[in-house]
Amino acid sequence: MKRLSVPRAISIVAILFAVCALAVPTLAQETVVTDTFDDPQLPGWERSGNAAVMDGVLLIEPGDFAFLVGEWGDLTLTVEVRVPSDAEAVISYCHTEADRYTLLLGPGYAVLGREAGGTSTELATGPAQISPGEWAEIQVVMSDETHEVAVNGQLVLAATDSDPLPPGAIGLGFQGLGRGEFDNLVLRAVGEAPPPVEVSPMPEPTPVVETPPPAEPSPEAAPPPSGAGPAYQAESWIFMGGPPGGIGYDIRHSFSDANIWYVTDTASGIHISTDRGLTWRQSNTGIRQGASFGYRVFSVTVDPRNSDIIWIGTRDAGHIYRSTDGGLTWEERTANATSGPAVAYRGFTVDPRSSDIVYAMAEVTDWVFRDEGEMTEYDLSHGDYAGGRIFKTEDAGLTWTRIWQGPALNRYLWINQDQPDELYASTGIFDRQALNYPDEGVHGANCGGVGILKSTDGGRTWDVFGFEEGLTSLTIGSLYMHPEDPQILLAGGGSDMCPFGPDTGTERIPRYGGVYLTTDGGRSWETVISNDIITSVEFCAADPQIAYAAGLTTVYRSEDGGHTWQEFGDPERRTWGPPGLNPGTPIDIQTDPADCYRVFINNYDGGNFVSTDGGETWSDASQGYSGAIIWGLYVDPTNPMRVFVGAGIAPWVSEDGGLTWRGLSNGELTRGAIALAGDPSDPNHFLAQMGSQVIPLGGLYETSDGGQYWTEVFELPRVGTMMRFMDFAFAPSDGDVVYGATLNIDEFPELARESDPHGMGVYRSTDGGTTWQPSGDPKIANRG
């Protein structure tokens, strides 16, 4: 359904909710009203004829209304609503005969408007994760000039009104075509309900004129409610989402509706977009949460035969799930396939002959093989080396058969649509050692791995393509088949575990990997991009002459089918993506099915980004979700709406209380920040320890201009490999005095509790963070 333009919608609401003037004295006391809508008499409410309580909910036909009559001022209103697909929910407050605030809620959006003296104004819009036919919890908070609206605990819009309306009634209703429902209302407000009053007759509704929704939301900053107490005394918290980040993996679109897209993150799960990737909402119903935190969804595949069927696989649990309703709900289909905390399902492929025939590609950690007594020809004692397995089901995941096992993990499998028993599979990925990783003499051409697999009998037997066929790396993290010619494939290769070539005593090859192209079904491969570790490749389905490839520092585009390439990125900062951040490691590329120059990249550590000019410029496409780990948080004491956080791809600042974020990876600080602190005596002076959840190394950086430029000022002695500051504290009485806590672990920072961390105690600075000395206290002396 298309959204009404706000001035027009408010005019209609004014008719639908016409009430007589309320002659009730203003009362300055807080009142709490609750209603579970179990009483058909609706005591305390006024309503029109087609608003009624049935089966414990308030049912309202479009054009009808129900009013909680009173003079309610500053308020917190919470109510559950179920909006049909062909209607909008309408919630009004401070509602009098002449004035009101009106909140419109439809699929994917929320709009707050104001009407006073016959003039209608749109105050704010925002994305809202409201699914047609599903219950959503709405919270409206009004305090003085401030208005905030949250949907299912997530803030979706905020606004200020410098001329607040007087207290008034609360109104509930729907407009459009379908009947909707409300339930479980709780109102905390300044004011009191008056004795019942008569409701004036309702005129006939004005015909609805529909206009398209706005292209993008534009929430307004709002100051915090006055008189707010300490955060620990808050009755509830609103999930803000935060800046983009996490461990992204796949991004896909529906084959039957190009507006529907799916994206995964291994902390926040699977997400659906109904506006072509502009906004997202979680859809994890039926998925078990990971043992540590979150919904550990790694891979997603949409069935090309039936886009309602979707397959996903999880990390750190090894579970397989299937949806038959377009991703709204999930059913586990792991069955007898390998599972457990050391297993990740990295990809699925559906056979063109039947939706019941599916291939699943897995990463299996070495100790699983050890415990099973398999792959014993390799050293299985490392605990973090990875092999792979490919499984096949012919009954939609009720049972699985293993059809390949080897020393490198599996992710992509492609099927020749003309000969469906002809299969191609990738092996390895840039950040995992294969089981055959060498103990010594490691370099790009001696890094273990397998190469590219090919079967011509449906997976019963396999050939292996490697160095002899032209590959320069056997770690092939990405593989893509030409959509019109199955003999043409692109492959992306290289490993961070051994990025350089052999040491010949001269300068080594800077990055050992690249993009490989075959035009003869894998018998020979041409290196078309060299000296880079390529983590993702793709042909555009709409025009296969256009292809993309991406690595840590560069995005590539070809316009001749993958033979020659243009490079896009920032060579000075050695990154690509939007300004002010390092987007992470590209792990999956997806072009728009109707526009080859509109392309998405999902990233390890960075979230999801979109380009509309073929990869030359980028913007954030993670609105509605985040898997970012927040390492530090600082609120400007002079402006509580100004919030700084440290995260994996950048330090971030929000100027509107967390609604929107801007990256501050500028100057010499080219990554994220795993520790961040602000100087209480200077709102633009900050310290940050550079690093991320994937790349934890880096020095200490300082900014004096709020993050517009950072300079490296100090680096801890490298006792071990990963010594760094993990927290800072400025002395409140003297901004020149700063304390820093140190830590050194052998794994990523988020694993500190699971390993054996040690550090160098507490360091102290007396010049605002430029120079540092150990504190000298023997109780916290160097343990590293």
Residue-wise pLDDT for 158-210, tens only, equals 999 999 999 999 999 998 777 899 999 999 987 555 444 333 333 333 333 33
For residue 118, what pLDDT is reported? 78
Order of strands across the sheet that contains 87-95: 45-47, 65-72, 168-176, 87-95, 100-106, 108-116, 119-128
Q: Which fold has domain 632-780?
A: Methylamine Dehydrogenase; Chain H (2.130.10)
Residue 106's pLDDT is what?
Answer: 85
Query: Which pLDDT score is estimated for 16?
Result: 40
Give one DSSP letter per residue of 149-201, joined into a string.
EEETTEEEEEEE-SSPPPPEEEEEEEEESS-EEEEEEEEEEES---S--PPPP
Q: Taking 60 as the threshold, does the pLDDT of residue 333 lie above it?
A: yes
Q: What is the pLDDT of residue 223?
A: 44
- Span 636-656, mean pLDDT? 92
Residue-by-residue DSSP string for 328-349: SS-EE--TTS--STTEEEEEEE
CA atoms within 13 A on the CB side of 613: 6
Residue 454 banded pLDDT, cuts 50, 70, 90 = very high
The proportion of the chain whose per-residue pLDDT surpasses 70, expressed as a percent, equals 84
CB of 436 within 8 A of CB of 449?
yes
Are the C-beta atoms of residues 769 and 738 closer than 8 Å to each other?
Answer: yes
The contacts found for 198-204 with CB under 8 angstroms, 24 or more apart, are 198/20, 199/19, 199/20, 199/46, 199/47, 199/48, 199/67, 200/18, 200/19, 200/20, 202/15, 202/16, 202/18, 202/48, 202/65, 203/15, 203/18
Q: Which CATH superfamily is domain 255-406 in?
A: YVTN repeat-like/Quinoprotein amine dehydrogenase (2.130.10.10)
Is a pLDDT exceeding 70 seen at residue 502?
no
Residue 25 is predicted with a pLDDT of 35
Rounded CA-CA distance 99/164 in Å is 10
Domain spans in the chain, listed from the N-terminal domain onward: 6-199, 255-406, 540-627, 632-780
Cβ–Cβ under 8 Å, residues 166 and 117: no
d(CA 146, CA 134): 29
Q: List all residues 6 or more positions away from 451 whose beta carbon is below 8 Å from its beta carbon.
A: 427, 464, 465, 466, 467, 469, 471, 474, 476
- pLDDT of amino acid 26: 37
- Backbone φ, ψ for residue 371 (5° rounding): -65, -30
Are 721 and 668 in contact, with CB atoms under 8 Å apart?
Answer: no
Share of the chain above pLDDT 90, in %: 62
Beta-sheet strands, E only, within 366-475: 386-393, 401-406, 410-415, 423-427, 452-455, 463-465
Query: Token pair of 457, please?
Result: 């009998």
Beta bridge partner(s), residue 741: 727, 762
Q: Domain 6-199 maps to which CATH number in 1.10.3720.10, 2.40.50.220, 2.60.120.560, 2.102.10.10?
A: 2.60.120.560
6-199 and 255-406 in the same fold: no
Tell me the C-alpha distance between 629 and 635, whole Å.
17
The pLDDT of residue 747 is above 50: no
Distance CA 522, CA 350 (A): 21
CA distance 750 to 259: 36
What is the rounded distance in angstroms from the CA atom of residue 407 to the CA atom of residue 394?
Answer: 26
Check residues 26 and 539 and name the one with the higher pLDDT. 539
pLDDT at 459: 97
Q: How far apart are CA 174 and CA 613, in angstroms?
A: 41
pLDDT band at 215 (very low <50, low <70, confident <90, very high): very low
| CA separation for the pair 171, 48 (Å, rounded) | 12
- C-alpha–C-alpha distance, residues 126 and 304, integer Å: 32
pLDDT at 7 over 50: no
Q: Where are the alpha helices (DSSP H) in 333-452?
A: 366-372
Q: Is 272's pLDDT higher than 90?
A: yes
Whole-model pTM over 0.85: no
Pull the structure tokens for residue 142: 């009004």
The pLDDT tens digits for 337-375 are 999 889 999 999 999 999 999 999 999 999 999 999 999
Contact 207, 128 (CB under 8 A): no
Tell me the Cα Rg of the chain: 29
| Backbone CA torsion sign across 346, 351, 355, 356 | negative
* CA atoms in the 13 A half-sphere facing the CB of 185: 25
What average pLDDT is seen over the chain?
A: 85
Cα torsion through 282, 286, 291, 295, rounded to 10:
-20
pLDDT band for position 693 (50/70/90)?
Answer: low
Q: pLDDT tens digits for 752-762?
A: 444 445 667 89
Q: Please, is 246 exposed, middle or buried when counting C-beta atoms within 10 Å of its C-beta (0-12, 13-18, 19+)?
A: buried
For the cut 90, the answer to whether the pLDDT of residue 511 exceeds it is no
- The whole-number average pLDDT for the span 744-748 is 51
* DSSP assignment string, 51-73: EEEETTEEEE-TT-EEEEEEEE-
**Structure-token pair, residue 522:** 């894998």
SS3 371: helix
Strands 513-518 vs 489-494: parallel, antiparallel or unpaired: antiparallel
pLDDT at 28 over 60: no
Question: What pLDDT is stored for residue 242 in this prediction?
Answer: 82
- In the chain, the amino acid numbered 122 is E
Q: Which of the four pLDDT bands, split at 50, 70 and 90, describes residue 671?
A: confident
What span, in angstroms and rounded, lies between the C-alpha atoms of 344 and 365? 9
Task: Compute the distance between CA of residue 297 and CA of residue 319 in angstroms, rounded to an integer.
Answer: 9
pLDDT average, residue stretch 470-499? 95
Q: What is each CA distance from 193 to 72, 73, 391, 426, 452, in whole angstroms? A: 8, 11, 65, 68, 73
Residue 121 is predicted with a pLDDT of 87
Min mean pLDDT across 280-289, 379-388, 475-484, 486-495 is at 280-289
The model's pLDDT over 386-431, given as tens digits with 9 standing for 90+, comes to: 999 999 999 999 999 999 999 999 999 999 999 999 999 999 999 9
**Count of alpha carbons within 13 angstroms of residue 374, beta-carbon side:** 14
The C-alpha atoms of residue 701 and residue 725 are separated, in whole angstroms, by 11
Q: Which residues of 206-229 are buried (b: 16+ CB within 10 A; e: fewer)?
A: eebeeeebeeebebbbbbeeeeee
User: Is the Cα torsion angle 264, 268, 269, 272 positive or negative in sign?
Assistant: negative
Does 1 score more than 50 pLDDT? no
Contact by Cβ (8 Å): 125, 135 = no
DSSP letter at 206 equals P
Distance CA 165, CA 101 (A): 8
Own/partner pairs for 498-503, CB < 8 Å, 24+ apart? 498/442, 498/443, 498/444, 498/446, 498/447, 499/444, 499/533, 500/443, 500/444, 501/443, 501/444, 501/445, 502/443, 502/444, 502/445, 502/446, 503/443
- Report the C-alpha gap between 562 and 545 in whole angstroms: 7
At 355, list the tokens: 């939706």
pLDDT at position 107: 77
Distance CA 269, CA 295 (A): 4
